Amino acid sequence: MDNLQQLYQSMGISKEVYDFGMKIEDTLKERFHAIKATTHYNQLKVLKAMQDNQVSEACFSASTGYGYNDLGRDKLEEVYASVFHTEAALVRPQITCGTHALALALAANTRPGDEILSPVGKPYDTLEEVIGIRSSKGSLAEYGITYAQVDLQRDGGFDYDNIKKAIHEKTKLVTIQRSKGYQTRPTLSVERIGELIRFVKSIKQDVICMVDNCYGEFVETLEPSDVGADMVVGSLIKNPGGGLAPIGGYIAGRADLIEMCAYRLTSPGLGKEVGATLGINGSLYQGLFLAPTVVEAALKGAIFAANIYERLGFSVVPNGSESRHDIIQAVTLGTPEGVVAFCEGIQAAAPVDSHVVPEPWAMPGYDADVIMAAGAFVSGSSIELSADGPMKEPYAVYFQGGLTYEHARYGILCSLQQLVNKKLITLTDC
């Protein structure tokens, strides 16, 4: 037994599980090598944006109170605009999460009587109350903003005929969710998002196309803003924060739309001029700089997970050989016991709170109990090793993150070990 295997064994991984994982990993070397090319491109893209905008040590200084003349905050927004090739960006710690960023972009750029259209089916659960699909205080529906939806076809394709029928004079904004959310549909590639935007614009040129870019940043060399998106929206405690951002969200896009978002975030008349950063600018810059390599680690972990669980006969989305367009790996375990065991394994692999046992609970914004495993340095950070899922059919778990591949690999083996220990799976003949 070599030293590495001994260490794994001391950390709860049996020889059977270790050998199975290493056998799978040996088949992925070429795939992992190919990911490097994307990382290389994106790392240079981020570096160039920082150099072109002349980031300096002064950008890391803190501001308090109103935050007037915060050089680091304003420069960071210029860097984000350069990275995403947009006219402007709003990057703020006052944006509390991805849902808040999306709600902000939607509310800022619609008015009573306008309609929002999702041509890619149901949005992520927490947006249902924002839009008013599920009743909630302060929803867009309460302000007379309506919502329409066109589901994807069975094969994951766009239903172009019904999308065309759904667009009319009141359609103000089209929202496109890149990632799958709590669904087992394919994640949308940037190329497919571009095709959809071009189709929508051919029907109504002035409609605003917004992309929920959460979990997709730096997975490809292009972003949705490169293929026609008017706004791209995301969270800093996911991909672009690189695991160092302690809070925040971003919206990048057309200058007039970003200006509206700034007025909605702060106050009419104040906009981007206010908003203290309280000394976290350095983490936001360094996190963005590291983001391409952190995303690479998370991608490798997702591919490893897909191949592990596909070999065991579970339905996985994407499958073990498909191209990747986000960092999320869905595994349909089929039973609540399987979902819980998987999440218990991920939690046990964490550097923080590894002794804690996750349990399903009624989280705000969801229509079913949700179990979440996330022993993270930043609370709730899903670029760090994490897994979660709603306790309802088809009992799928959604795995993402890993600041290093080595940690992601260990987490997946822990999830597998927990399923083996509970006799929910067997590795015999696999």
Same domain? 194 vs 180: yes
Instruction: Residue 205: count other Cβ atoms within 10 Å of its Cβ.
Output: 7
| Residue 429 pLDDT greater than 70, yes or no | no
First to last CA, the chain: 22
Question: Is residue 49, in this structure, part of any structural domain at all?
Answer: no
**Omega before 318 cis (within 30°)?**
yes
Same domain? 378 vs 280: no
What pLDDT score does 325 carry?
97
Per-residue pLDDT averaged across 324-332, rounded? 96
Same domain? 88 vs 217: yes
Tell me which of 428 and 62 has the higher pLDDT.
Answer: 62
DSSP states along 105-172: HHHHT--TT-EEEETTSS--HHHHHHHTSS--TT-GGGGT-EEEE-PPPTTS---HHHHHHH--TTEE
Same domain? 330 vs 400: yes
| Residue 322 pLDDT greater than 80, yes or no | yes
Same domain? 129 vs 155: yes
Question: Is residue 53, in this structure, part of any structural domain at all?
Answer: no
Using CA atoms in the order 37, 43, 44, 49, what is the torsion angle rounded to 10 degrees? 150
Same domain? 106 vs 123: yes
Digit-coded pLDDT (tens) for 130-173: 999 998 999 999 999 999 999 999 999 999 999 999 999 999 99
Same domain? 154 vs 238: yes
Digit-coded pLDDT (tens) for 363-376: 887 888 999 999 99
Domain boundary residue, one of 288, 314, 329? 288
Give the CATH number, domain containing residue 12: 3.90.1150.60
Same domain? 193 vs 293: no
What pLDDT score does 366 carry?
81
Digit-coded pLDDT (tens) for 237-262: 999 999 999 999 999 999 999 999 99
Same domain? 190 vs 245: yes
Same domain? 147 vs 238: yes
Domain boundary residue, one of 288, 312, 338? 288
Domain coverage including residue 339: 3-42+289-421
Digit-coded pLDDT (tens) for 330-360: 999 999 999 999 999 999 999 999 999 999 9
Distance from C-alpha of 263 to C-alpha of 276, rounded to nearest angstrom: 15
What pLDDT score does 148 carry?
98
Using a pLDDT cut of 70, give the percent of the chain over it. 99
Same domain? 93 vs 103: yes
Question: Is residue 51, in this structure, part of any structural domain at all?
Answer: no
What pLDDT score does 363 carry?
82
CB 82 within 8 A of CB 113: no
Question: Is residue 52, in this structure, part of any structural domain at all?
Answer: no
Digit-coded pLDDT (tens) for 84-134: 999 999 999 999 999 999 999 999 999 999 999 999 999 998 899 999 999
Same domain? 237 vs 223: yes
Per-residue pLDDT averaged across 277-281, rounded? 97
Domain boundary residue, one of 269, 288, 307? 288
Number of domains in the chain: 2
Confidence of residue 1 (pLDDT cuts 50, 70, 90): low
Question: Is residue 368, in this structure, part of any structural domain at all?
Answer: yes
What pLDDT score does 303 carry?
98
Question: Is residue 225, in this structure, part of any structural domain at all?
Answer: yes
Give the CATH number, domain containing residue 170: 3.40.640.10
